[in-house]
Amino acid sequence: MPVQIEQLRIVQYPNPVLRVKAQPITEVTDEVRRVALRMLEMMHEAPGVGLAAPQVGLSWQIFVANPTREPEDDQVFINPVLTRPARETVPQDEGCLSLPGVNAPIYRPRSITIEATDLDGAKFTMTSGDLAARVWQHEYDHLEGILIIDRMAEIDRIANKRTLKDLEQAYKQK
Ligand code: ZN
């Protein structure tokens, strides 16, 4: 069934689509391109530095990112694979457009390499040791059905408990 681009919305926890493992994109079609471009718009509107397809209700292996928020830094990652994670992990505060109001330090490898396909169907590889590395790992987690609440320390889960309860309540009332 074709995707209704104008009906895409950012879904919030605990929508079950956020827990589904995304499927690979078999071909970069015009529809995939349209979805990716709309996701970039939605990411900027939010505003955020990354957005994964499951967050707009699509179980597709695709995410968009822009750690600097400069227009020329928009990037689309199709069927991404993460490799060569640094052994050293570092904490940094993370939030998520699907978990409004939830924040916690998350430990992740300091640097990482990503291999993916772009909107022209071409493979590319990038390596980062800064915010991009963190965004890629956060968005890649979404494709695996993993959320920051799965990675945060117990004490932070307790600190965010009220917000999570409110989100669960809001979802039930939809
Ligand atoms: Zn997120």
Q: 164: domain CATH number?
A: 3.90.45.10
Q: Which amino acid, residue 74?
A: D
What is the tens place of the pLDDT at every residue in 86-145? 999 999 999 999 999 999 999 999 999 999 999 999 999 999 999 999 999 999 999 999
115 is catalytic: no
Position of tokens 């916690």?
104
Query: Ligand 1 (ion): which residues have CB within 5 A?
Result: 96
User: How many residues appear in the chain?
Assistant: 174
User: Looking at residue 95, what is its pLDDT?
Assistant: 98
Question: What does the block give as tokens for 51?
Answer: 């957005």
Higher pLDDT among residues 113 and 71, named by residue: 113
Q: Are 125 and 149 in contact (CB under 8 A)?
A: no
**Dihedral, CA of residue 165, residue 167, residue 169 and residue 173, to nearest 10:** 180
Higher pLDDT among residues 54 and 71, named by residue: 54
Q: Is the pLDDT of residue 43 over 90?
A: yes
Looking at the chain, the number of H-run helices and the number of E-run strands are: 5, 7
Q: How large is the average pLDDT for residues 56-83?
A: 97
Position of tokens 């926890």?
13
Into how many domains does the chain fold? Answer: 1
User: Looking at residue 159, what is its pLDDT?
Assistant: 97
Position of tokens 């928009």?
74
Residue 102 Cα to ligand 1 middle (Å): 10
Q: How confident is the model at residue 153 (pLDDT cuts 50, 70, 90)?
A: very high
Q: Are 17 and 53 in contact (CB under 8 A)?
A: no
Question: What does the block give as tokens for 166?
Answer: 């409110």
Residue 142 Cα to ligand 1 middle (Å): 7
Share of the chain above pLDDT 90, in %: 97
Residue 159 belongs to what domain range?
A: 5-172
Q: How confident is the model at residue 174 (pLDDT cuts 50, 70, 90)?
A: confident
Residue 153 Cα to ligand 1 middle (Å): 17
Q: Is the pLDDT of residue 1 over 90?
A: no
Taking the C-alpha atoms of residue 50 and residue 17, their distance in angstroms, rounded to an integer, is 17
Kindly report the average pLDDT of the chain as a whole number: 97
Among 88, 139, 144, 154, which one carries the catalytic annotation?
139
Taking the C-alpha atoms of residue 137 and residue 113, their distance in angstroms, rounded to an integer, is 10
Residue 125: C-alpha distances to residues 19, 40, 64, 131 (Å): 27, 20, 15, 17
User: Looking at residue 6, what is its pLDDT?
Assistant: 92
